[in-house]
Structure 1
Amino acid sequence: MLNTQPGDEIEFAALWAGLRRQRHWILLTALGLGLAVFLWFSAQPPVYEATSSLSTTAVVSLATVRETVVTALPVPDGALQDALQGPVVMGRLIALVQGAAGLPATRRAALTAHLQREFQQQRVRTVQLESRIDPGGNGIYLLTAQGRSPGEAVILNDLAAQALLEWDLARASAGLLDTQRRVTAQLAEVSRQLGRADLSVTDQQALLASQGSLRRIQTQLGVQALGIRGFLERVAPPTPPQEPVSPRPLRDALLVGVLGLVFGTGLAALRTVADRSVRDEDTLLALGWPVLGTVPADQRGQGGIGFVRVNLGAQLGRWAGHPILVTSSRESEGADQLTLSMAAELASTGLRVLIIEAGPRSAALSPTAGRLASASWRQLCGVGGARILWEALDDPGNVQALELQPGVDLLPSGSDSDDVPGRLGRHRQAAALGDLFARWGAGHDLVLISGPALLTDADSLMLGAHVAGAVVAVREGRFRFKLVQQALRRAENAGVHVLGLVLTKPPAGTWIPGLRAAAGSMRQGL
């Protein structure tokens, strides 16, 4: 009768239900991440960014020195960005920052250290260059600089532009200076030769002509030196920024919150797909036994408990004092509360129900000491006698039960010290439990035995042999499918007649599922 596995297909409805169950954690994760990012970035200093433009026009450099203007050769696309992060430009920029009169001394020192650190790590971010050059070599470069204030960003942009223009001008004049040095060296050699006394008239005239030509070239080079320019040109100075580019706490928090929502939803969906715990009646139906209904774990006489009564009556045929074992695969699955709910529901229809607490002492069933003193006791058999199960086993002819409410009586188990696994099966009256249940429940329409868990105490299997059948409570989402399957297999192997399964839901009063158990413990402590 026992099926092996629930279907592996993940239905959209089941996935949606899993996301709904975890929606609080998803929202809390997104809100927590967003709030953390907002607080973090709100504590960061503002960063302002100033931007200026450097234009360029492609020119052709002539090999001769007969022109009056010398312009630097254009650099390939990307080379200028490398130059900005190179030792020449960065070294000059750092030197200019150290001597910047418009910056406080503390900021000069901080900027110098920051630029040096970025240069050493080869990750310059404070000053950046964006190329907008067409294939013909014409266009502009956007130079951006970041600072802690609008004025600092503007000063840093000006200094970076100055360092770049000086580098470009030095590159343009490097060839002309080399030519000037060679012409000067040639003039010195010609003058030395003219000073020789053994020169012929012809050699002297040739040297004088050469000297005149070299002096004309030297003069032209001097003129060209005055017209040297780089291929970069400053278009306009930067405008002081009005708003910081970072941090943007609200924007970043919203972005991280959305990402956290997406990540949390994906993680929740993955957990739902991988979750093999019992979540609904469809999962229980895969086990092969009837599902009597679904009831809350802490509410009696409400919702699905009526279906449990009707379906259980259909299984039994008639109420004739049948002893029914109410158990679960492990503790804390709501079996004790289910017992109480079933008794209250049956009593509401006019039936009399006796509850025998044969498992561990339950907070839901066991009365307090104060209530025991003032309670109304009903005689089950004999005169006076035992008021707890263990005493009743020693004196089965004289037993009393506590009247919980009209139509519902309880024979409690006793103190916590009596909760020893397997103790009931070792008792001398163990073989006669069926007769004792029938004797004690003679004045009742149904006897409900609140037994221990199937996987933790062999007494539950022993009790199953003395009852008409067992109702197994399964807590929603608490245990995996295979664990419930293992418990039912043990019951089947022991010959326990399982009447059906009841899905018990966690308490609905606590809005976050993970806090329900803690809330219940607090209530019991109070």
Structure 2
Amino acid sequence: MQTPSPRVQSADQIDLRQVFGTLRRFAPLLLLAPALVAGGTYALTKRQPPTYEASASVIAVDNDAQNSLINNTLVTAPPLPQGAVEQVMRSRSLLGDVVGRLEKTDLSPALVGTIRRDLANELAERDFTRFKVKARLDPQQRGVYELRAQAETPEAAQLLADAGVRALIAWDNSRAKQGVIRSRQSLQEQLRSLTARIAATPPGDLERQSLVAARGQLLQNLSQIAVLETAASGTLVLVSEPVAPLTPVSPRPLRNAALAGLLALFLSAAGALLSDSLRRRVEGPEDLLPLGLPLLGQLPLLRRRSLGEGFIQASRSGPLYESVGFLRINVLSLLPEGGQRRLVVSSAYPSEGKSSVTAALAESLGASGLRVLVIDADLRRPTQLKVWSPDRLATHPLPGTQPGLPPATTVPDMFLHPEAAFVTRVSPNVDLLPAGTPQSGGGGTGLLSQPGFRTHLDRWSQGYDYVLIDTPPMLSLSDTLAVAPYTDGVLLVVEGGKTRLADVERTLQNARVAKVRVLGLVLNKLARTGGTYYSYGYDADSTESPVRSSRSPVTQM
């Protein structure tokens, strides 16, 4: 039996080689999707009207002058609590003040009307974009408020920011004067009451003199209140006035296109990896263990330079020779000695390397002194003659062939003329029954399902130790299921890194339903890892993989 691979990856590890291989398979999608998304985003963003942003800053200060005389003659507002400025900028009264200030500027009435409608909609939807406030404060709520305003033109952005910050400062100052105003209104009410009482009191009355004195004191208090009202101030002071911006803040076609392209690339890569994970592929021997079948061989992926002299020559030396040797030993130990042994070699799908495995196993059995007959039963895509590529087509008759008849050298011809059957010698101890020209449609492919096929197979197999039958893929045609009952069983070839595990399971299920015995699995075309080969075939720098093509004489088919 073959020794297990030196590196078995656990389920919780990430195989970066597999990840990059998956991304490489989806490379066209990963390149096309971000390009289309980025291009579409750029075109759409470019068509959007520009938006300009201007900003102004105010500072929240503590008006405590540390001087009793100044503090006694100065009325200040209390510090603003956290988030107060943001809420004020979203109030209907302040936004109305902003619109009133804009109407006094040189902005066009149409643009002012657009801003008024936008502010009204923002109030109704509670989604504010025209004004944004950014605060940088210390624990005592002292610091800087930056007010940003967005508009359709640089001048409109500047005027809107200016109107907003001045309306905010006016609101803050009004907040500081509210207590003084209430005091003034109370004193004025008292003054009106005293004036009425004085008018109703006769001249020279002592009460009238007392009322006049009280009225004089009220007038003095009112004058002081007027001074305090004039000096009252809020906690917000203008730091920087807005200026007209030079460039718009949106749209930014290049930035948006780059971000959209990166997002599309990320989503495409994630989708490719997710799709690949949902369609789990056979990456190594450990993936085949749950199937409960023996792994008879692991054949390496050959590079193109290894196939310069042909596939059969490559199988006689190097890593492929050793791997096929393990396969031969496992097959010999699997079947009882003595008698004639017939094996079907197939796969789930085309281009997994079944024809190459058949030829390599036949060559190895023949080199060990066993007589081998290879039958190319893949009548739709015959490949065995191209795999062997004999220098000359030397034929000889099978037992029971009548002399003097024109030789029948292909499987369809032998069905028609079984008494004139000739085989082609392709290697010492190895003969081949080629399929001939490819059969299309129903054509000659129905030959394998005819009752007489077993009789012909018994006749052709006489004098051989092993008969290897190369049949079509089991998920593509039913020919393998028709031929396998006349043999000892099926060797199922699985291409590493490409064949989905679900397809292998479906193939085995079909075989069980048809009561076809699957002897074991051959893991084919495994990439080299850590200097060790696991399977055979072409790698990425090859022009055409033997498992992927049935048209090249130097490829594994």
TM range (shorter): 0.7 to 0.9
Query: What SS class does the counterpart of residue 75 from structure 1 fall into?
Result: coil
Q: Cα 1:489–1:144, aligned 2, differ >3 Å: closer, same or farther?
A: closer
**TM-score (normalised: structure 2):** 0.69
The one of 65, 78, 87 equivalent to 2:92 is 87
Distance 1:496 1:189, change over 3 A: closer
Question: In 2 relative to 1, CA 461–294 (structure 1 residues): closer, same or farther, beyond 3 Å?
Answer: farther
- In the other structure, the counterpart of 2:375 is 356
Does residue 1:289 correspond to 2:295, yes or no?
yes
Q: 1:437 aligns with which of 460, 468, 493?
A: 460
Kindly indicate whether the alpha-carbon contact (under 8 Å) linking 1:384 and 1:400 is maintained by their aligned counterparts in 2: no
The answer to whether 1:327 aligns with 2:346 is yes
Tell me the equivalent position of 2:172.
Answer: 168
Q: What secondary structure sits across from 1:92 in the alignment?
A: helix
* Contact 1:97–1:112 (Cα < 8 Å) also in 2: no
Residue in structure 1 matched with residue 123 of structure 2 by the alignment: 119
**1:232 aligns to 2:250 (yes or no):** no
Letter paired with 2:10: E
- Give the drift of 1:59: 4.2
Q: 2:389 maps to which residue?
A: none
Structure 2 residue aligned with 1:417: 441
Look up the SS of the partner of 1:416 in the other structure: coil
Q: Which amino acid aligns with 1:10?
A: A
Q: Secondary structure at the match of 1:356?
A: strand
2:439 maps to a residue whose letter is S
- In 1, the alpha carbon distance for the partners of 2:548 and 2:193 equals 102
Look up the match of 2:22: 22
> Gaps (5+ residues) in structure 1?
2-6, 368-374, 521-526
Quote how far apart the aligned CAs of 1:164 are.
0.8
Counterpart residue number, 1:371: none
Q: Aligned to 2:200, what secondary structure does the other structure show?
A: coil
**Residues 68, 283 of structure 1: CA spacing in aligned structure 2 closer, same or farther, 3 A cutoff?**
closer
Deviation, structure 1 residue 128: 1.9
Indicate the residue corresponding to 1:393 in structure 2. Answer: 415
Q: Would the alpha carbon gap of residues 485 and 419 (structure 1) be closer, same or farther in structure 2, given more than 3 Å must change?
A: farther
**1:1-400 superposed matches below 5 A:** 9-10=10-11, 12=13, 15-24=15-24, 25=26, 29=30, 32-33=33-34, 36-37=37-38, 40=41, 43=46, 47-59=51-63, 68-101=73-106, 103-104=107-108, 107-196=111-200, 201-241=205-245, 244-246=248-250, 276-284=280-288, 287-295=293-301, 301=311, 306-307=321-322, 309-315=324-330, 323-328=342-347, 330-334=348-352, 337-338=355-356, 342=360, 356-359=375-378, 361-362=380-381, 381-382=401-402, 383-384=405-406, 389-390=411-412, 392-399=414-421
- Give, in whole Å, the separation in 2 of the partners of 1:499 and 1:197: 128
Q: Distance in 1 between matches of 2:229 and 2:159?
A: 30
- TM-score, normalisation: structure 1: 0.72
How far does residue 517 in structure 1 lie from its aligned partner after superposition? 9.3
Residue 251 of structure 1, CA deviation? 5.5
Structure 1 28/196 Cα, relative in aligned 2: closer, same or farther at 3 Å?
same
Amino acid at match of 1:418: G
Range 130-139 or range 494-503, more displaced: 494-503
Moved more, 267-276 or 225-234: 267-276
* Aligned-pair CA distance for 1:168: 1.9
Displacement of 1:438: 1.6
Please state how far the C-alpha of 1:158 moved relative to its aligned partner: 0.9
Once the 2 structures are TM-superposed, how far is the Cα of residue 433 of structure 1 from its aligned partner? Answer: 4.4
Compared CA separation, residues 100 and 387, structure 1 to 2 (3 A): farther
What do residues 452-509 of structure 1 show as CA deviations (whole Å, max 9, x unaligned)? Answer: 4446766524533444664322133454435525645776894747365142579766
**Aligned match for 1:498, one of 493, 511, 519:** 519
Which whole-Å CA distance do the structure 2 matches of 1:116 and 1:326 have between them? 78
Deviation at 1:19, TM superposition (A): 1.0
**Alpha-carbon deviation of 1:236?**
2.6
- Flag the 1:221–1:430 CA change in 2: closer, same or farther, 3 A: same
Greater shift after overlay, 254-263 or 187-196?
254-263
SS of equivalent residue, structure 1 residue 141: strand
Q: Following TM superposition, by how much is the alpha carbon of 1:84 offset from its aligned partner in structure 2, in angstroms?
A: 0.8
Query: Aligned in 2, Cα 1:352/1:254: closer, same or farther, shift over 3 Å?
Result: farther
Given residue 19 of structure 2, which amino acid in structure 1 is its aligned partner?
Answer: L
CA contact (8 A) 1:452 1:460 kept: yes
C-alpha distance 197-501 of structure 1, shift in aligned 2 (>3 A):
closer
Code of the residue aligned with 2:296 in structure 1: it is P
- What RMSD over aligned residues (CA atoms) do the two structures have, in Å? 5.1
Structure-1 separation of matches of 2:283 and 2:113: 64
Q: Is the 8 A contact 1:384 1:399 kept in 2?
A: no
Displacement after TM superposition at 1:417 (Å): 3.1
Aligned-pair CA distance for 1:201: 0.9
C-alpha spacing 1:93/1:29, structure 2 compared with 1 (3 Å)? farther
Q: How many aligned residue pairs are there?
A: 492
Q: Deviations along 1:379-437, whole A, 9 cap, x unmatched?
A: 75452376764553354223467999998661248633337998734x23144243133
- Structure 2 distance, partners of 1:399, 1:98, is 106
> Is contact 1:69-1:228 (8 Å) kept?
yes
Q: In the alignment, what sits opposite 2:469?
A: 449
Alignment gaps of 5+ in structure 2: 2-7, 66-70, 387-391, 527-536, 552-557
- How far apart, in 2, do the equivalents of 1:281 and 1:419 lie? 39
Cα distance change on mapping 1:415 and 1:462 into 2, 3 Å: closer
